[in-house]
Amino acid sequence: MPANNMRAAVYRGNSVVSVDEVETPLIGDGEILIRVEACGVCPTDLKKIEYNLLTPPRIYGHETAGVVAGVGAKVGKYRPGDRVIVFHHIPCGECFYCARKLYAQCPVYKKVGVTAGFEPAGGGFSQYVRVMDWIVERGVEKIPEGVPFEVASFVEPVNTCLKAVEQCAPQSGDVVLVQGQGPIGLIFTMLLKLRGCTIVATDTIPSRLELASQCGAAFAFDPRRADVSGKLKELTGGRGADMVFVATNVKGLVEEAVASSRPGAKIMLFAQTSDKERIELSGASICVGERSLLGSYSASVDIQRESADLVFSGKLPVHLLISHRVPLDKIELAFRLATHPGDFAGENPLKIIVHPQEFSV
């Protein structure tokens, strides 16, 4: 049994996170306790911390993989020792939005069902997390033997990307522009390669462009040095990309996506998660050009098993994306690496994995 207290990275407000001793969560009859072995650092959590979007105190982290450490009296699907990943959002399956498969808009989905204490916020940046009953029922997947925890932690982000890809329904042979080759952009590149697309990747960091080619991109350009829209037209007989995935929120990229795409193209906004972001486009570029401007947010329960299989089977080589492994007491370094990769150019930061059971001192 775990100790009464554990260590966790607690958001305290004013963009401050401190590694403190807190009570180990207690579980109810339908709940499980997970000993967290790996948790990926996600930009959405970093935004919440940097811009103080939610009231403190909270314990963030939702790309969680670990070992079942305790089960409630009414839990029959899992037992101590099971290796699992957990989704922190699961929809009700019965409301107006669930009937239309818009799960991220479901009121139950918006409730976080995994916590390490305080207001539920994912909790993966801690040694243990409590998984609530409705998540236990439908939001946990067992990790096969031989799959490392840090690889398994990619199941949730892969799900979010797969959801966006399926919404766009690319066809084999489509020319697809993926703007941004951070961890999310590279997952898009991998998924689109599996669909038989010709991928054009853009990023400003040379090491990411090299990795994009390794992950399936046919062409990789620095948009500061290449005329991206011109390159796409050269590759498509003057038409432009059939589809664009905007995987970073750099100003001007949506405008570039429109300029680089053909009439009738689909443009997927994936990184535009802030209410403060503004996009200015010609109405005719959408209306007369018959382009579809789409959005996709968070995960889908319908593809949970598929996303897990893609990761566990190795069809997606997500291990290539891991650049740093950080013990819990160095989590501030993890956040800096993920938020300001340009400040660590010699280290080529990409996907940062926190190991909550490890400490540097």
Confidence of residue 361 (pLDDT cuts 50, 70, 90): low
The alpha carbon dihedral of 307, 313, 317, 323 has a sign of positive
By the 8 A CB rule, do 188 and 159 touch? no
What pLDDT sits at residue 330? Answer: 96
Does the pLDDT of residue 277 top 90, yes or no? no
DSSP code, position 39? E
- Calculate the alpha carbon distances from 32 to 69, 118, 149, 291, 327 in Å: 8, 17, 18, 46, 24
Does the pLDDT of residue 122 top 70, yes or no? yes
* Selection from 153, 220, 214, 215 nearest residue 180 by Cα: 220
pTM for the predicted model, two decimal places? 0.96
User: Who has greater pLDDT, 277 or 58?
Assistant: 58
By the 8 A CB rule, do 317 and 215 touch? yes
Does the pLDDT of residue 341 top 90, yes or no? no
By the 8 A CB rule, do 322 and 351 touch? yes
By the 8 A CB rule, do 131 and 140 touch? yes
User: Per-residue pLDDT averaged across 256-280, rounded?
Assistant: 94
What pLDDT sits at residue 16? Answer: 95
Q: Is 239 helix (H, G, I), strand (E, B) or coil?
A: coil
Does the pLDDT of residue 360 top 70, yes or no? yes
User: Per-residue pLDDT averaged across 296-319, rounded?
Assistant: 98
Give the position of tokens 């069902």: 113
Residues of the chain above pLDDT 70, percent:
99
Residue 280's identity, in one-letter code, is E
Give all strands (DSSP E) within the chain, no chain letters: 5-13, 16-23, 32-40, 63-71, 83-86, 114-115, 128-131, 140-142, 175-179, 198-202, 219-221, 241-246, 261-269, 292-295, 322-327, 351-355
User: Per-residue pLDDT averaged across 171-200, rounded?
Assistant: 98
User: Per-residue pLDDT averaged across 203-225, rounded?
Assistant: 97
User: Per-residue pLDDT averaged across 68-86, rounded?
Assistant: 98
What pLDDT sits at residue 72? Answer: 98
What pLDDT sits at residue 92? Answer: 97
* Cα gap 116→131, rounded to integer Å: 9
Give the position of tokens 């407000």: 13
What pLDDT sits at residue 127? Answer: 98
For residue 156, the surrounding DSSP H or E stretch is: helix 155-168
What pLDDT sits at residue 107? Answer: 98
Instruction: Please provide the average confidence, as pLDDT, over all residues in the chain.
Output: 96
